[in-house]
Amino acid sequence: MVEPYLRREARLETADPTRRGRAFGQWLLAQYPPAGPEGRKGLPTSQRAEQSTAKQSFAAMAALASISSSLATLSLNSAAVNVSASTSAPALIPAFSGLRTGSLPLSAAKSSSDFHSVVSVTLARSSSSNGGASRGVVTMGPLEAGVGLMGTKMGMMTYFTPEGNAIPVTVIGFHEGNIVTQVKTDATDGYSAVQVGYRRVRDRKLTKPEMGHLKKVDVIPMRHLQEFRLTSVDGFEPAQRLKLDELFKEGDLIDVAGDSIGKGFAGGIKRWHFARGQRTHGSKSYRQLGSIGAGTTPGRVYPGKKMPGRLGGGRAKIRKLEIIKVDDEMHAMLIKGSVPGKPGNLLRITPAKLVGINLPK
């Protein structure tokens, strides 16, 4: 019964994770139809609501099962797990890495409707333990080379080396914060990550759920919370303060991410660096976009055509920037070159990803 499904899922290995999650949910619903002679219509209102919750949970199962490999990447395990969903005969369901089917309390499931409720409740508990992000779907960032810090862009200046060389640098300041607020492990959340808080604020600036999350580890109220996904979280504890001079040294390479400066609606020349038209011989097309495709064939504009539109104001990352100086007393850092955003912008600073050195090949 499982072999056709496994062969079908093997072909979908590189497909959309959401599609694979729906396929798995549809397979489960087909193997365990709701009780009652009329199907779902024959169920009471309470069980019908559980069925709806179960379907939504199955659609999110791809993301819940992918947290051990990479962002939203579902890896199929060829093994099958015996699950006694009914008292008559055991059934087989495929096992996914990250989905602990062995831990499901399926012994209490006496019928197919009980099986649906058991799975939906288990997934709901798993999503609530992760803060309920994205309505039960666990959201993760890419794997980092190491834990990082959050800082604030202060501005740019010129730094003179002892040899007399002038280097343009960006000054990054660090306000109160950069405290570990949560440590996530494979056993509790399905992946390893360190959640860090930054920028102290007044209590009234945060919601009660946010305050409750921070009071669990007895830390100050902070505005920003970000995760750093790591291969191992050994050595990190809640309420631990991350020190600047211990994480970064002069000469290190770092990646800096932040929101770029928004420049509004821009034309093709400014946005895509197109060449302008000639200004002589009666030309009236100086900065116009020009042709955007053929006429009758294909009779449409191809998707992805470079045209005028909104420029900037998005997430940007500058990789492999060199640290010129670290001043722990002033809580500041000098970085060679420019970083995204304007002064006062929030920045995410992490060790540069060097494949084969601090990241596996």
Give the tens place of pLDDT for each residue, 190-209: 999 999 999 999 999 999 99
For residue 280, tell me if it sits in a domain: no
pLDDT of residue 64: 43
Residues 6+ apart with CB under 8 A from 118: 104, 105, 106, 108, 109
Residue 342 and residue 236 in one domain: yes
What crossing angle do the helices spanning 17-31 and 3-11 adopt, rounded to 10°?
Answer: 170
pLDDT bracket for residue 142 (50, 70, 90): confident
Residue 80 and residue 160 in one domain: no
Question: Quick check: 303 pLDDT over 90?
Answer: yes
What domain range includes position 31? Answer: 3-128
pLDDT of residue 346: 95
Whether the CB-CB separation of 76 and 94 falls below 8 Å is answered with yes
Residue 47 and residue 183 in one domain: no
Which domain-ending residue is among 74, 96, 128? Answer: 128
Comparing 153 with 32, the larger pLDDT belongs to 153
For residue 208, tell me if it sits in a domain: yes
Whether the CB-CB separation of 122 and 99 falls below 8 Å is answered with no
Residue 114 and residue 257 in one domain: no
Joined together, the tokens standing for residue 117 give 């409720």
pLDDT bracket for residue 350 (50, 70, 90): very high
User: Mean pLDDT over residues 251-267, rounded?
Assistant: 95
User: Mean pLDDT over residues 108-115, rounded?
Assistant: 53
Residue 27 and residue 116 in one domain: yes
User: Mean pLDDT over residues 209-233, rounded?
Assistant: 93
User: Mean pLDDT over residues 20-29, rounded?
Assistant: 57
Residue 180 and residue 41 in one domain: no
Question: Quick check: 333 pLDDT over 80?
Answer: yes
Q: Are strands 332-336 and 315-327 parallel, antiparallel or unpaired?
A: antiparallel
pLDDT bracket for residue 101 (50, 70, 90): very low
Encode the chain in three state secondary structure. Answer: CCHHHHHHHHHCCCCCHHHHHHHHHHHHHHHCCCCCCCHHHHCCHHHHHHHHHHHHHHHCHHHHHCCCCECCECCEEEEEEEECCCCCCCEEEEEECCCCHHHCCHHHCCCHHHHHHHHHHHHHHHHHCCCCCCCCCCCCCCECCCCCEEEEEEEEEEEECCCCCEEEEEEEECCCEEEEEEEECCCCCCCCEEEEEEEECCHHHCCHHHHHHHHCCCCCCEEEEEEEECCCCCCCCCCCECCHHHHCCCCCEEEEEEECCCCEEECHHHHHCCCCCCCCCCCCCCCCCCCCCCCCCCCCCCCCCCCCEEECCCEEEEEEEEEEEEECCCCEEEEECCCCCCCCCEEEEEECCCECCCECC
Q: Taking phi first (over 0 means left), then psi (-120 to 50 degrees means alpha), and beta for anything else, what does residue 238 get?
A: beta
For residue 293, tell me if it sits in a domain: no
For residue 67, tell me if it sits in a domain: yes
Each residue of 56-82: pLDDT tens digit? 554 445 444 443 333 333 333 333 334
Question: Quick check: 112 pLDDT over 60?
Answer: no
Distance of CA 23 to the CA centre of its chain: 23
Residue 171 and residue 240 in one domain: yes
Question: Among 47-61, 181-195, 218-232, 251-265, which is the least confidently predicted range?
Answer: 47-61
For residue 77, tell me if it sits in a domain: yes
Question: Among 40-49, 104-113, 128-137, 191-200, which is the least confidently predicted range?
Answer: 128-137
Residue 198 and residue 234 in one domain: yes
Joined together, the tokens standing for residue 58 give 């199955």
Residue 199 to residue 225: CA distance in whole angstroms? 9
Residue 31 and residue 64 in one domain: yes
Name, of 133-137, 146-150, 357-361, the range with top average pLDDT.
Answer: 146-150
For residue 200, tell me if it sits in a domain: yes
Question: Among 42-51, 222-231, 256-265, which is the least confidently predicted range?
Answer: 42-51
pLDDT bracket for residue 359 (50, 70, 90): confident
Residue 114 and residue 74 in one domain: yes
Q: Are strands 309-311 and 222-229 parallel, antiparallel or unpaired?
A: unpaired
Residues 6+ apart with CB under 8 A from 142: 70, 71, 229
Residue 179 and residue 229 in one domain: yes
Question: Among 136-145, 341-350, 351-360, which is the least confidently predicted range?
Answer: 136-145
For residue 168, tell me if it sits in a domain: yes
Give the number of domains in the chain.
2
pLDDT bracket for residue 32 (50, 70, 90): low
Residue 245 and residue 210 in one domain: yes
Question: Quick check: 287 pLDDT over 60?
Answer: yes
Which domain-ending residue is among 96, 128, 160? Answer: 128
Question: Among 34-43, 116-125, 225-234, 259-268, which is the least confidently predicted range?
Answer: 34-43
For residue 143, tell me if it sits in a domain: no
- Cis amide leading into 298 (omega within 30): yes
Joined together, the tokens standing for residue 330 give 């002033």
Give the CATH number, domain containing residue 316.
2.40.30.10
**How much of the chain exceeds pLDDT 90, in percent?**
48
pLDDT of residue 334: 96
Joined together, the tokens standing for residue 133 give 């992000």
